C-alpha cells in the first residue's frame, strides 16, 4: 500500500514533472511565437499584398494578433504617426463639436473668436498680420469685441433662425474621416482581409468628409436659392457615392492606383469651384466679405493639392529610402495637411454662416 502510494506518488510527481516540462516548452514556444509575431519586419519580408511603399524600408507590423495590433497604437513603428496625426485631428474636431453643442451662444462665439462682422475691420487673421505687438491685449480686445453676435442665429429678429445642423454635418464628416483613417492605419496590418476592408473604409471616410464639407457652405450660401442648393448638394452626393463605389473595387486599393485615387479625391474637392464661383457672383454686391470665405477655400484647395502631391510622389522618402520610416514620411505630411485644410474649410464655413446671418431674409 505504502509502496503503491509511493509509486503513485512518484508517478504523480513524474507526471507532474513531465507536464510542467511540457507546459514550459509550450510557454517558451508561445513566447517565441509572440516575439516573432511582434517583430517589426523589413519591406522585403512582407507578403505581396502589404508591399505598398518600397521607400519605407523597415518597421512594419505584419499579421500580428489583434490584441497586439490594438496595443501597437502606443508603440513605435512606421504607422504610429499616421495613426496619431488623425487621432489628434479627430480630437480637434470633437472639441469644435463639443464647443458648438455646449456653449450658450455656440456658433456665434466661434465666429466671434475668429472673425469680425462684415463692415467692421476685417477678420481676425488679417488683423493679426497688421498688429503683431501687444498680442495679449489684442487677443483680449478682439475676443471681447466680437463675442456678442446675435445676428448669426437670427436673420430676422427671433423668428428666422439659421439652422446649425449643416455645420454639424461637416464636423461629423470630418470626425468620421479622421477616425476611419486612424483605424485603417492601425488595423490594416492584421491580415489580407483587414487590409482590403480598412483601406476601403479609409477611402469611404475621405469621400464622406468631402461630401460633408460641401454641405454647410452650399446650404448657407444658397439658402435663398433652394433649387441651386438642391442641384449642388445632389450633384456632390451623387459624385461622392460614385467615387466610393469605384474605390471599393479591390484592385484599386493597390499601390499602382495611388495617383488614380488621389485624382478622384482632387476632382471631388475641386468640383467645389463651380458653386464657389456662383456664390461669389450672388454675394459680390451685398457682401464683399464673401471673398474672405473664398480666400479660406483657396487656402484649403492649395493644402489639399499639396497633400495629394506628397501622397502620390512619396516625397521625401523617395529621396532617402529608409530615412523617414518612423518620422517625416509623405503620408504623415499628407495627414497633417488634410487636418489643416479641414480647419481652413471650417473657417470659410463660419464666415459664410456669419455673412448669411448678417443679411436680411430671402425676398421671395
Ligand atoms: Zn492615411
Cα(243) to ligand 1 centroid in Å equals 17
Gap from CA of 82 to ligand 1 centroid (Å): 6
**Residue tagged 431674409 (cell numbers):** 361
Where is the binding site for Zn(2+), in residues? Answer: 185, 331, 335
**168-205, pLDDT tens digit by residue?**
999 999 999 999 999 999 999 999 999 989 998 998 89
Distance, in Å, from the CA atom of 7 to the CA atom of 320, rounded to the nearest integer, reads: 70
Could you read off the pLDDT tens digit of each residue along the chain, which spans 364 residues?
A: 333 333 444 444 444 444 555 555 555 555 544 554 478 999 999 999 999 999 999 999 999 999 999 999 999 999 999 999 999 999 999 999 999 888 655 455 565 555 544 444 433 333 333 333 333 333 333 333 333 343 333 333 344 567 888 999 999 999 999 999 999 999 999 999 999 899 989 988 988 898 899 889 999 999 889 999 999 999 988 888 888 887 777 777 677 787 888 888 888 888 888 999 999 998 888 777 888 999 999 999 899 889 989 999 999 999 999 999 999 999 999 999 999 999 999 999 998 888 877 776 676 4
Q: pTM for the full model?
A: 0.74
Compute the distance from residue 45 Cα to the ligand 1 centre, in Å.
22
What pLDDT score does 150 carry? 37
What pLDDT is stored for residue 8 in this prediction?
Answer: 41
CA of 258 to the centre of ligand 1 (A): 12
Distance from the CA of 241 to the center of ligand 1, in angstroms? 20
Q: In 3-state terms, what secondary structure has residue 315? A: coil
| Binding region | 185, 331, 335
Cα 98 to middle of ligand 1, angstroms:
25
Cα 146 to middle of ligand 1, angstroms: 37
pLDDT at position 139 is: 35
**pLDDT value at residue 252:** 73
Sign of the C-alpha dihedral, residues 64, 68, 73, 76? negative
Cα 185 to middle of ligand 1, angstroms: 7
Confirm if 78 and 325 have CB atoms less than 8 A apart.
yes
pLDDT of residue 25: 59
CA of 10 from ligand 1 middle (Å) equals: 62
What separation in Å is there between the alpha carbon of 266 and the centre of ligand 1? Answer: 15
Other Cβ atoms less than 10 A from the Cβ of 337: the count is 21
User: What does the alpha-carbon distance between residue 254 and residue 52 come to, in Å, rounded to a whole number?
Assistant: 7
Q: What tens digit of pLDDT does each residue of 196-230 get?
A: 899 989 988 988 898 899 889 999 999 889 999 99
Task: Tell me what pLDDT residue 303 has.
Answer: 93
Tell me how far the alpha carbon of residue 181 lies from the centroid of ligand 1, in angstroms: 5
Give the per-residue pLDDT at 152.
Answer: 37
Rounded (5°) CA angle 106-110-111: 115
Q: How far is the CA of 350 from the centre of ligand 1 (A)?
A: 27
Ligand 1 center–CA 120 separation, angstroms = 41
Which residue is associated with the grid cell 446675435? 150
> Where does the chain have alpha helices with state H?
2-38, 66-71, 80-102, 106-114, 124-130, 135-146, 165-187, 192-221, 226-247, 258-270, 273-283, 290-313, 330-358
The alpha carbon of 49 and the centre of ligand 1 are apart by a number of angstroms equal to 17
Residues with CB in 5 Å of ion ligand 1: 181
Report DSSP letters for 237-284, one per residue: HHHHHHHHHHHTSGGGGSGGGHHHHHHHHHHHHHTTHHHHHHHHHHHT
Q: How far apart are the CA of 180 and the centre of ligand 1, in A?
A: 9
Question: Rounded to an integer, what distance in angstroms lies between the CA atom of residue 20 and that of residue 10?
Answer: 15
Gap from CA of 83 to ligand 1 centroid (Å): 8
Give me ligand 1 centre to Cα 322, in Å.
Answer: 19
**Is-contact 181 202, C-beta < 8 A?**
yes
SS3 154: strand
Q: Rounded CA gap, 352 and 345, in Å?
A: 11
Distance 253 CA to ligand 1 centre (A): 13
The residues facing 60 across adjacent strands are 41
Amino acid at each position: 500500500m505504502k509502496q503503491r502510494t509511493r509509486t503513485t506518488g512518484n508517478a504523480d510527481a513524474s507526471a507532474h514533472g513531465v507536464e510542467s516540462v511540457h507546459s514550459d516548452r509550450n510557454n517558451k514556444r508561445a513566447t517565441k511565437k509572440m516575439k516573432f509575431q511582434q517583430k517589426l519586419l523589413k519591406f522585403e519580408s512582407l507578403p505581396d499584398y502589404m508591399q505598398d511603399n518600397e521607400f519605407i524600408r523597415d518597421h512594419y507590423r505584419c499579421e500580428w494578433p489583434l490584441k497586439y495590433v490594438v496595443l501597437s497604437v502606443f508603440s513605435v513603428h512606421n504607422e504610429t504617426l499616421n495613426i496619431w496625426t488623425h487621432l489628434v485631428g479627430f480630437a480637434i474636431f470633437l472639441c469644435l463639436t463639443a464647443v458648438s453643442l455646449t456653449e450658450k451662444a455656440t456658433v456665434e462665439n466661434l465666429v466671434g473668436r475668429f472673425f469680425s462682422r462684415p463692415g467692421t475691420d476685417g477678420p481676425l487673421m488679417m488683423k493679426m498680420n497688421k498688429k503683431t505687438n501687444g498680442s495679449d491685449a489684442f487677443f483680449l480686445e478682439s475676443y471681447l469685441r466680437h463675442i456678442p453676435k446675435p445676428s448669426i442665429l437670427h436673420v430676422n429678429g427671433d423668428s428666422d433662425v439659421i439652422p446649425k445642423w449643416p455645420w454639424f454635418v461637416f464636423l461629423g464628416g470630418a470626425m468620421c474621416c479622421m477616425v476611419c483613417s486612424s483605424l485603417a492605419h492601425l488595423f490594416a496590418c492584421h491580415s489580407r482581409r483587414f487590409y482590403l476592408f480598412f483601406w476601403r473604409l479609409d477611402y469611404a471616410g475621405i469621400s464622406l468628409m468631402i461630401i460633408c464639407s460641401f454641405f454647410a457652405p452650399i446650404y448657407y450660401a444658397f439658402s435663398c436659392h433652394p433649387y441651386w442648393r438642391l442641384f449642388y448638394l445632389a450633384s456632390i452626393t451623387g459624385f461622392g457615392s460614385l467615387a466610393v463605389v469605384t474605390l471599393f473595387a479591390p484592385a484599386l486599393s493597390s499601390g499602382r492606383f495611388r495617383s488614380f485615387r488621389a485624382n478622384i479625391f482632387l476632382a471631388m474637392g475641386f468640383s467645389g469651384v463651380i458653386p464657389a464661383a456662383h456664390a461669389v457672383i450672388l454675394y459680390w454686391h451685398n457682401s464683399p466679405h464673401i471673398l474672405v470665405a473664398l480666400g479660406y477655400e483657396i487656402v484649403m484647395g492649395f493644402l489639399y493639392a499639396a497633400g495629394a502631391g506628397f501622397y502620390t510622389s512619396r516625397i521625401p522618402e523617395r529621396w532617402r529610402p529608409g530615412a523617414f520610416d518612423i518620422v517625416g514620411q509623405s503620408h504623415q505630411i499628407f495627414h497633417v495637411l488634410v487636418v489643416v485644410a479641414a480647419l481652413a474649410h471650417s473657417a470659410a464655413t463660419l464666415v459664410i454662416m456669419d455673412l448669411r446671418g448678417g443679411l436680411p431674409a430671402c425676398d421671395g
